[in-house]
Amino acid sequence: MNEADVLIVGAGPVGLTLAIDLAWRGINVTIAETRARAAPPEPKCNHVAARTMEIFRRLGLAEAVRNAGLPADYPHDVSYRTSFTGQELTRIKIPCRRDRFTATDGPDCNWPTPEPPHRINQIFLEPILFEHAAAQPRIRVINRTSIEDVMVEDSSATVGLRDLESGTMRRVTCRYLIGCDGARSIVRKAIGAELNGDAIIQRVQSSYIRAPGLIDRQQHANAWGTGAINPRRSGMVYAIDGRERWLVHNYMRPGETEFEAVDRDACLRTILGVEADFKYDIISKEDWYGRRLIANRFRDRCAFIAGDASHIWVPYAGYGMNAGIADAMNLSWLLAAHLNGWAPASILDAYEAERWPITNQVSRFAMSHAEAEIRRRGAVPDEIEDAGAAGELARVEVGRLAYEINVQQYACAGLNFGTYYDRSPIIAYDGVEPPAYTMNSYSPSTVPGCRTPHLWCDGVSLYDLMGPEFTLLRFDPAADVAGLEAAARKKGLPLKLLEVARPATAICDGSGLVLSRPDQHVAWRGDRPPSDPLALIDHVRGVVK
């Protein structure tokens, strides 16, 4: 291999999803990965957001992803207790995957999407993505390969590929280079980007354990996540396989700065609520720092960064991996538009213009939530485990606060559906401000830049009916769109016209026409066709006048 259209560095969930989407759009992709093909990933991500599940649905992966992970009847609830085996303080109800599409009672139900969230650890998710990618004829995966000596130029990048088995080097030229290579990104360093922000928000001593007898020691029903709250330790315990494997986060206390200086075994036993004779094995240590760091640039000419290479923050609401996949989907359609010939290279300027502000928005939500949760941990009453009235009162109050804070991150509809692009060079704005959103609430809208609202059309998802590139939604059958269709044909922009019955709600804000982009964000809307269809088509495909 001497050259590639697109070279992706890193075969984690972000790099793999990017490659799959590019290949789906007709682009040849090479992925370089340091790990061996069957090497298991670290058990990091535990949650696939609804927006990511919508992407997996489009790529034909949603069913395989949803059928993996915990047993079908294992609750996805989040339970807060005095310890894993202690008294329950509160419970956030989240349906198991068997009931995901039928349950209607709870904060995580009735989401406006064909694909609600799914709780699954990365050790189950990543192999599904990898095998699908490896089976695509347009994707080539090179394992046990590191990237060195990156040289970025105006129209191409040249990198050295080192075979980690033999040590041999070879040079490869690619038209576009994308770093999905994590917090220590080689590509980020090559483009001269620097991470800025808050270096350490918290320290978490995290242990991936095998404890076959733990599940039977609970006083309460199973839960996907179990928060332990007592005066000695606060932590989270995530069920990995629903049987014997668990990921235990020990939130280190103020003054505890060194992971190995803190007695891991004692902390684990305090969080789990088990005695010294309880047997467990540590599979791996997954200690991490909570940070809020954002790269000062996401691109240099033909090289880009996405995911943890471009931003790192406290992973509340599961928005580490999921934000990275959102980066990837934004970049994917822009690259494909240019490489497939229907958009100029200037369309790629939209990537940083759109994703950097979104990254800043989302990271601040995560930061704010982290600060609230850290304050809550520092205020655990000494009597919370007592049997008397004072203990019961303490448990009720702490449970109320834990629910109030954490239901926002575990049922985060706002972060899934409320984010919008408000500074994009390829969106035709109309002067209306997008609706404000919070972590857990939002208002669906067709204001340009917002996510195209989801609708059910005679029982079929609107997203399943839309085209792979641009879709013109016609809510007003009297609107004449012949000029817009002709302009799209003239400029080569793929456009599908979709007739949609106007919903009873005000979701469309009175607009008879909505132009939805390949990433399902609104590019333009109007109550009548544009006065200059060619100008609009040029605008959304990145032509700089």
Mean pLDDT of 90-95: 96
Dihedral sign, Cα of residue 94, residue 519, residue 45, residue 243: positive
User: How high is the pLDDT of residue 438?
Assistant: 84
Burial 94-115 (b: 16+ CB within 10 A, else e): bbbbeebeebeeebbbeebbbb
Same domain, 343 and 441: no
Mean local confidence (pLDDT), 318-343: 94
Contact 70, 122 (CB under 8 A): no
The string of DSSP letters for 80-138 reads EESSTTS-EEEEE----GGGTTT--SSTTSS-SSSS--EE--HHHHHHHHHHHHHT-TT
> Which single residue is written with the structure tokens 């059910």?
456
DSSP string across 370-416: HHHHHHHHTT--GGGG-SSHHHHHHHHHHHHHHHHHHHHHHT-HHHH
Asked which of 349, 364, 379 is the last residue of a domain, the reply is 364
Task: State mean pLDDT over 91-116.
Answer: 93
pLDDT of residue 470: 98
The encoded tokens of residue 49 equal: 């957001």
42 and 149 assigned to the same domain? yes
Q: Is there a single domain that holds both residue 441 and residue 352?
A: no
For residue 289, name the pLDDT band (cuts at 50, 70, 90): confident
Helix, coil or strand: residue 212: coil
Using the 3D structure, point to which of 342, 364, 386 is the last residue of a domain.
Answer: 364
Residue 102 has pLDDT above 80, yes or no: yes
What's residue 440's pLDDT? 83
**Judgement on whether residues 439 and 305 belong to the same structural domain of the protein:** no
Residue 96: inside a domain, yes or no? no
Same domain, 432 and 346: no
Q: Tell me: do 173 and 311 sit in the same domain.
A: yes
pLDDT, tens only, 486-507: 999 999 999 999 999 887 665 7
20 and 145: one domain?
A: yes
Residues 150, 389: Cα–Cα separation, whole Å: 65
Q: What are phi and psi of 83, to 5 degrees?
A: -160, 175
- pLDDT, one tens digit per residue, over 173-196 is 999 999 999 999 999 999 999 999
Is the predicted pLDDT of residue 50 greater than 70, yes or no? yes
Query: Residues 294, 23: contact at Cβ < 8 Å?
Result: no
Residue 440 lies in a domain: yes
195: β partners: 295
Predicted local confidence at residue 369, as pLDDT: 59
Residue pair 217/168 in contact (Cβ under 8 Å)? The answer is no
Given a cut of 90, whether residue 207 has pLDDT beyond it is yes
Look over the chain and give the mean of its residue pLDDT values, rounded to a whole number: 92
Could you tell me if residue 282 is inside a domain? no
d(CA 68, CA 66): 5
pLDDT greater at residue 438 or residue 524: 524
Q: Within a domain: residue 493?
A: yes
Q: Is 134 exposed, middle or buried (0-12, 13-18, 19+ CB in 10 A)?
A: middle
**Buried residues in 9-45 as b, exposed as e (16+ CB within 10 A):** bbbbbbbbbbbbbbbbbebbbbbbbbbeeeeebbbbb
117 CB neighbour count, 10 Å cutoff: 25
Beta carbons within 8 Å of 98's beta carbon, 6+ residues apart: 72, 73
The answer to whether residue 15 scores a pLDDT higher than 60 is yes
Q: How far apart are CA 120 and CA 25, in angstroms?
A: 27
305 and 445 fall within a common domain? no
Residue 457 counted as domain residue: yes
As beta bridge partners, residue 281 has 210
- 327 with 179, same domain: the answer is yes
Tell me, yes or no, whether 267 lies in a domain. no
Inform me whether the pLDDT recorded for 13 exceeds 90: yes
Q: What is the pLDDT of residue 198?
A: 79
Q: How far is CA 319 from the centre of its chain?
A: 5
* CATH number reported for the structural domain that contains residue 490 in this entry: 3.40.30.120
Average pLDDT over residues 407-415: 87
3-class secondary-structure state, position 364: helix
In-domain check, residue 13: yes
Checking if the pLDDT of 370 tops 70, the result is no
Domain count, the chain: 2
Cα 277 to Cα 36, 265, 273, 283, 322: the distances in Å are 38, 12, 12, 19, 39
In this predicted structure, the answer to whether residue 1 has a pLDDT above a threshold of 60 is no
Distance between CA atoms of 108 and 102, rounded to whole angstroms? 12
Domain stop point among 344, 364, 384? 364
Cβ atoms of 53 and 117 within 8 Å: the answer is: yes
CATH number, residue 332:
3.50.50.60
Within a domain: residue 132? yes
Mean pLDDT of 263-279: 96
Tell me: do 346 and 428 sit in the same domain: no
Which run of H or E residues covers position 463?
Answer: helix 462-465
45 and 171 share one domain = yes
- Identity of the residue numbered 511: S
Whether 479 shows a pLDDT value over 60: the answer reads yes
Q: Which domain holds residue 181?
A: 3-68+119-195+291-364
CA distance 436 to 158: 43
C-alpha 501: how far from its chain's center?
31
* Whether residue 448 sits in one domain with residue 315: no
Measure CA 354 to chain center: 16
The length of the chain in residues reads: 545
